[in-house]
């Protein structure tokens, strides 16, 4: 924990006393904790600077900031509750000089950050002279109440006002707890993309896919716009004129979010936000947000956080509201560039910490992989475009109950299940995260250890949604990513899924794949044939043999376990009769014991 804002020339004794407030748990129904208010009032008088404290509804202090004599900086507030709900945080701040009336800046900050309450303490000679409270009403205007005295029981009545407003915002506007944001999607077709063969239709397909991503993240898509332009605008991506049109659209349709189909720089995000007044994210941010929602395992959560931090680090300068440390009220001046340096150091430290943790988890993954290799258990990895039906196929093949949903990236954390092949042997089937076009580079790097399951697998099942008109493009995207991972040399079966809803006369060119199988993971069509193809594929790697091993030869059975698997053995008078599968290139050493 640390004290934000202007801490220069303040004694360590006072900073330590303020930091101690982080460790105190205040009553969840105490709007203005007496001890906290008296402490910050005394210190505020002593340093002659305004002090701001943010407290959440659980009674925990989440931030303390110090400003100039009449202003205090505000920290970053990640308002995940949506634009209509309150932030679940109240601000208590001091006014050195004795007057507790809320200023216009205080009221604007209350409205902008949607605080539960803005509370001002008038301070004179270190004592609290008066308290004023500001709360939003249903029209989103600020109602100001006061003056009150410290310890006044009427202060706690404001919880009822706060709860009523929050309930109204939650039920009246959207009718559920998770309010959806209205979004407009923006794509760009440049002359370069046309030269590279990217037609307007392909740009539209990319925007359609972005719509599916937005819906997966919980947004309501109001409109989709494609701008045709010679080159991408370095300041406004699609040009200032188009952004001004978008600003009018946002005002007319109450759109809170603009989603762009390509990565934006920090400066572009800032410029567009300033002109439109809407929040701006790009395709990468959207995908990272979906991954953050889907991550369940410890490794998955660490990988997502690492990708998010690596994406944010070069964009600290230039980002708009997302990383701003200024709330526009209770003082809008802070240390500026120095704060950005603090952010950089913090993010770099966190990145290093995450990479160390992932290295440890990677060692565990390698250990488990080596264990499978020692047991000579065949490993099959499901790969393919997102929402191609990989998890449904795993459930069909293995009789498992892996989570399935008709959304992009329903599977994030890889899962492994036992698969019985057509000849009765056991294999391990691994479900991996789906691929997508324009998959963020930082995400590929962060998930490299997970994606390497495909690299170390003995066989790949490339699952394709045969009902999708863009199936050929999706195959190409997956092949490109597999090539980047170094997994193109694996024996691969092209699995054309969703035949139950695919149009007849297939549009998919399977050239380059020697093994192709048409199936429906939902109905079970083609599943026996797929199991046969998988089994045939492993016969090229392993061969079943029968041996008679004399009792005085002790190295053979350990050799078989090292290079294959014993399927059965029987002790006879002449020796041990063994039925086994052994790697083809290791059989020659056993020729003297093989039964013809």
pLDDT the model gives residue 371 = 66
Q: Which of 267, 294, 321 is the last residue of a domain?
A: 294
The structural domain count of the chain equals: 4
Task: Tell me how far the alpha carbon of residue 533 is from its chain's centroid.
Answer: 36
Q: Which of 173, 206, 237 is the last residue of a domain?
A: 173
Instruction: Give 420's contacts (C-beta < 8 A, 6+ positions apart).
Output: 426, 427
Residue 530 shares a structural domain with residue 548: no
pLDDT the model gives residue 192 = 63
Residue 67 shares a structural domain with residue 111: yes
Residue 188 shares a structural domain with residue 158: no
Residues of the chain by 3-state class (helix, strand, coil), percent to 5: 40, 25, 35
Instruction: Report the helix count and the strand count for the chain, using DSSP H and E.
Output: 17, 20
Residue 480 shares a structural domain with residue 407: yes
Q: Domain of 578?
A: 542-593
d(CA 252, CA 233): 25
Contact 301, 343 (CB under 8 A): no
Residue 161 shares a structural domain with residue 41: yes
Cis peptide before 147 (omega within 30 of 0): yes
Residue 319 lies in a domain: no
CATH number for the domain that contains residue 532: 3.40.50.300
Residue 162 lies in a domain: yes
| Pairing state between β 257-260 and 220-229 | unpaired
Residue 91 shares a structural domain with residue 209: no
Residue 43 shares a structural domain with residue 163: yes
Residue 108 lies in a domain: yes
pLDDT the model gives residue 510 = 64
Tokens encoding 104: 């216009």
Instruction: Give 498's contacts (C-beta < 8 A, 6+ positions apart).
Output: 389, 465, 466, 467, 520, 521, 522
d(CA 319, CA 160): 36
Residue 197 shares a structural domain with residue 165: no
Q: Which of 539, 562, 585 is the last residue of a domain?
A: 539
Q: Which residues of 46-85 are buried (b: 16+ CB within 10 A; e: fewer)?
A: ebebbbbbbbebeeebebbbbbeeebbbbbebeeebbbbb
Rg (CA), the chain: 31
Residue 98 shares a structural domain with residue 118: yes
Closest CA to 132 of 27, 56, 32: 32
Return the HEC string of 170-231: HHHHCCCCCCCCEEEEEEEEEHHHHHCCCCHHHHHHHHHHHHHHHHHHCCEEEEEEEEEECC
CATH number for the domain that contains residue 290: 3.40.50.11060
Residue 347 lies in a domain: no
Tokens encoding 346: 């913090």
d(CA 95, CA 40): 11
Residue 471 lies in a domain: yes
Residue 73 shares a structural domain with residue 169: yes
Residue 443 lies in a domain: yes
Question: What are φ and ψ of residue 288, in 5° steps?
Answer: -60, -35
Please count the residues of the chain: 596
Question: What are φ and ψ of residue 424, in 5° steps?
Answer: 90, -10
Residue 487 lies in a domain: yes
61: part of which helix (H) or strand (E)? strand 61-66
pTM: 0.56
Residue 407 lies in a domain: yes
485-534 confidence digits (pLDDT tens): 777 777 889 999 999 888 765 556 666 787 899 999 999 999 999 999 98
Question: What are φ and ψ of residue 467, in 5° steps?
Answer: -85, -10
pLDDT the model gives residue 322 = 43
Strand partners, 187: 226
Tokens encoding 159: 């919880």
d(CA 191, CA 140): 45
Residue 509 shares a structural domain with residue 415: yes
Residue 241 shares a structural domain with residue 109: no
Query: Low-confidence residues of the chain, pLDDT below 50?
Result: 69-71, 73, 75-76, 78-80, 171-178, 194-197, 318-337
């Amino acid at each position: 924990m640390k004290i934000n804002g202007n801490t220069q020339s303040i004694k360590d004794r006072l900073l330590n006393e303020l930091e101690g407030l982080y460790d105190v748990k205040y009553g969840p129904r105490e709007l203005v904790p007496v001890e906290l208010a008296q402490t910050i009032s005394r210190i505020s008088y002593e340093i002659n600077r305004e002090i701001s404290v943010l407290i959440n509804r659980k009674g925990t202090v989440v931030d303390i900031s110090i400003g100039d004599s009449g202003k205090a900086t505000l920290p970053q507030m990640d308002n995940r509750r949506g634009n209509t709900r309150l932030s679940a945080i109240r601000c208590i701040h001091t006014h050195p000089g004795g007057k507790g009336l809320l200023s216009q800046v205080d009221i604007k900050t209350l409205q902008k950050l949607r605080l539960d309450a803005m509370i001002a303490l008038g301070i004179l000679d270190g004592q609290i002279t008066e308290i004023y409270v500001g709360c939003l009403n249903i029209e989103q205007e600020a109602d100001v109440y006061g003056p009150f005295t410290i310890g006044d029981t009427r202060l706690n009545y404001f919880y009822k006002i706060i709860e009523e407003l929050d309930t109204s915002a939650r039920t009246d506007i959207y009718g559920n707890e998770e309010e959806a944001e209205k979004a407009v999607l923006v794509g760009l077709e440049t002359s370069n993309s046309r030269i590279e063969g990217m037609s307007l239709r392909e740009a539209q397909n990319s925007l359609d896919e972005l719509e599916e991503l937005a819906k997966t993240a919980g947004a309501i898509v109001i409109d989709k716009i494609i701008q045709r332009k010679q080159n991408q605008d370095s300041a406004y991506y699609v040009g200032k004129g188009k952004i001004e049109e978008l600003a009018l659209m946002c005002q007319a349709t109450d759109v809170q979010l603009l989603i762009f189909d390509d990565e934006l720089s920090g400066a572009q995000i800032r410029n567009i936000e300033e002109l439109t007044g809407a929040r701006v994210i790009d395709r990468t941010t959207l995908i990272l947000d979906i991954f953050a929602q889907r991550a369940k395992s410890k490794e998955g959560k660490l990988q997502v956080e690492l990708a998010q931090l690596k994406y944010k680090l070069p964009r600290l300068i230039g980002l708009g509201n997302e990383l701003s440390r200024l709330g526009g009220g209770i003082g809008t001046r802070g240390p500026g560039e120095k704060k950005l340096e603090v952010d950089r150091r913090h993010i770099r430290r966190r990145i290093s910490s995450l990479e160390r943790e992932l290295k440890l988890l990677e060692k565990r993954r390698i250990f488990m992989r080596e264990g499978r290799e020692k047991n000579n258990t065949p490993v099959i990895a499901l790969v393919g475009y997102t929402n191609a039906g990989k998890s449904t196929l795993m459930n069909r093949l293995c009789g498992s109950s892996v989570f399935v949903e008709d959304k992009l990236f329903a599977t994030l954390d890889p899962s492994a299940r036992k698969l019985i092949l057509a000849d009765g042997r056991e294999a391990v089937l691994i479900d991996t995260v789906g691929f997508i076009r324009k998959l963020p580079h930082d995400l590929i790097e962060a998930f490299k250890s997970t994606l390497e399951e495909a690299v170390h697998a003995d066989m790949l099942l490339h699952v394709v949604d045969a009902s999708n008109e863009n199936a050929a493009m999706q195959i190409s995207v997956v092949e490109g990513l597999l090539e980047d991972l170094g997994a193109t040399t694996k024996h691969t079966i092209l699995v054309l899924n969703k035949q139950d809803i695919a149009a007849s006369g297939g549009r998919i060119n399977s050239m380059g794949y020697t093994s192709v199988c048409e199936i429906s993971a939902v109905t079970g069509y083609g599943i026996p044939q797929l199991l046969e193809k998988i089994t045939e594929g492993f016969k090229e790697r392993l061969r079943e043999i029968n041996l008679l091993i004399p009792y005085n030869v002790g190295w053979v059975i350990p050799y078989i376990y090292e290079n294959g698997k014993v399927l059965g053995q029987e002790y006879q008078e002449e020796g041990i009769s063994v039925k086994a599968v052994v790697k083809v290139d290791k059989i020659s050493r056993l020729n003297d014991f093989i039964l013809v």
